[in-house]
Structure 1
Amino acid sequence: MDANVTTPLVHTTRLTAAYRRYLQSANSCRFAHEVDESYTSATLLSLLARGVVEQRRAAALALGMLGDRKCIDSLGRAISDTDRGVRLVADDSFRAVLVRDAAPLHHQQLLRVMHLNDGGEYAAALSPALILIDQAPMYAEAHHQLAICWHGLEDFARAERAYQNCLWHCRFHYLAWQSLAKIRYLNGNLEKALQALDYCLDINPDLETARMQRRQIRRRMRQSDV
């Protein structure tokens, strides 16, 4: 039989076998090494899009460990996969790749900004966030963190622009869509807030907080029509 016919089956068996060993051992280094030896990113992306459930889960996990910016859109699409396990793994991998999508120095700067934002220290985070974007203007998560700074400082106009810049670089950034909806809601632009939440939930149908926001906006719109 032609080797080109049998190769995909061999590769699929290796991927699922490595994935099952990972589930038993939680040894992420071994899993990443085994996958990296046998697969290209292109093959993993193909399996993520067209494989059976176990292959899609394994591919999503592997891309989170080994992938780069070229896999961000595919992982973003997989967050709405029909299988909940694929959705969860793809979401984790999507966010992991977003955060490390820069040179190591810029990655470390981002982690510092994220730490400050997580602690509510928005004023302290603002300057390093602006410097980071100046140095790495294509870094989508840097724009998101800058938006969080402006949002926390209640400069909603600058926050909206920063969320939009984030989405320009990564249209699957569902948290940016959700936060953009909050800004638009505060500005009284209910239709556009609802539109942003629809985009958010198309990407991540499991985000219950966004679903609650959408219900709140729809109630307010109905009340306005009365």
Structure 2
Amino acid sequence: MTNPALRTSRLVSGYRRYLASADTLRFAQQVSECYLPSTLAKLLRLGDIEVRRAAALALGIVGDSSVIEPLGRALGDCDRGVRLASDDAFRASLVRDAAPVHHQQLLQIMHLNDGGEFAAALPPAMILANHAPMYAEARHQIGVCWEGLGNNAQADKAFRQCLWLCRFHYPAWIGLARCRIERNQWRGALIALERATSICPDLEVPRAQARAIRRRLGQSERQG
């Protein structure tokens, strides 16, 4: 069995070479040859700062559905570099959390949503969610579609379905908060914003929104 320290040093050495060269392909090959996603997830949890950064970067390349939760937890790491690398890896793993053919369909839907073509994105998003019912990001994109079309009730439902599949999906928590703000459901919006910022501490806008809602609720209670 390979010495754990040696395995860690290989990861760090590859990570340092990647930082110097930006050679993603080489780093991916080295990681794939030496590490399982489960090993990288353990290093992400237990390693020192450099090891955690390297593990997060590696998981963005070779991670599968099994590492989504460890990456979700790492979004709150004490080191900002780990948080940023984990965020990139988390988003990449969400996209890969289905069969390859579904990845391509999802990317097309995301492209339509990013361009504001919500009506065009909704039918393929619903078909994709039907074909891949455990695909959290498909549910999130349905929520984005409905929200863009002004149907906040359906968007709220889709975001909650996404969160049932992946409780660390902080963009869905933020989407849920937006829907509830639009419907004047201030306490529900506050809960959603607090969940998002507890998962990902670097979310400054949602944190500011939560403070504003707390002030609003406090004023309502004093007036009542």
Common fold: TM-score over 0.5:
yes
Distance in 2 (CA, whole Å) between partners of 1:120 and 1:212 is: 26
User: How many Å apart are 1:223 and its aligned residue?
Assistant: 2.7
Q: Does 1:121 align with 2:117?
A: yes
Instruction: Report the counterpart of residue 26 of structure 1 in structure 2.
Output: 22
AA paired with 1:66?
A: V
Distance in 2 (CA, whole Å) between partners of 1:117 and 1:143 is: 13
> 36-45 or 175-184: which moved more?
36-45
Instruction: Report the counterpart of residue 39 of structure 2 in structure 1.
Output: 43
Instruction: Report the counterpart of residue 222 of structure 1 in structure 2.
Output: 218
Runs of 4+ in 1 over 3 A off after TM superposition: none
Instruction: Report the counterpart of residue 204 of structure 2 in structure 1.
Output: 208
Instruction: Report the counterpart of residue 79 of structure 1 in structure 2.
Output: 75
User: How many Å apart are 1:192 and its aligned residue?
Assistant: 1.5
Instruction: Report the counterpart of residue 155 of structure 2 in structure 1.
Output: 159
Superimposed CA distance per residue, residues 81-126 of structure 1 (whole angstroms, 9 cap, x where no aligned partner): 0000000000000001101211121111111111111011111111
> 101-110 or 162-171: which moved more?
101-110
User: How many Å apart are 1:212 and its aligned residue?
Assistant: 1.7
Superimposed CA distance per residue, residues 7-49 of structure 1 (whole angstroms, 9 cap, x where no aligned partner): 0111111110000000000011101111111112221111100
Distance in 2 (CA, whole Å) between partners of 1:75 and 1:215 is: 27
> 182-191 or 88-97: which moved more?
182-191
Superimposed CA distance per residue, residues 60-81 of structure 1 (whole angstroms, 9 cap, x where no aligned partner): 0101100100000000000100
Instruction: Report the counterpart of residue 49 of structure 2 in structure 1.
Output: 53
Q: Does 1:142 align with 2:138?
A: yes
Q: Does 1:112 align with 2:108?
A: yes
Aligned to 1:188, the other structure's residue is in SS state coil
Distance in 1 (CA, whole Å) between partners of 2:107 and 2:31 is: 27
AA paired with 2:24?
A: S
TM-score (norm 2): 0.96
Distance in 2 (CA, whole Å) between partners of 1:110 and 1:119 is: 14
The number of residue pairs the alignment matches comes to 222
Matches within 5 A, 1:166-181: 166-181=162-177
> 77-86 or 100-109: which moved more?
100-109
TM-score (norm 1): 0.95
Distance in 2 (CA, whole Å) between partners of 1:156 and 1:164 is: 12
Aligned to 1:137, the other structure's residue is in SS state coil
Superimposed CA distance per residue, residues 138-178 of structure 1 (whole angstroms, 9 cap, x where no aligned partner): 11000000000001111111111100000011100001001
Distance in 2 (CA, whole Å) between partners of 1:36 and 1:125 is: 35
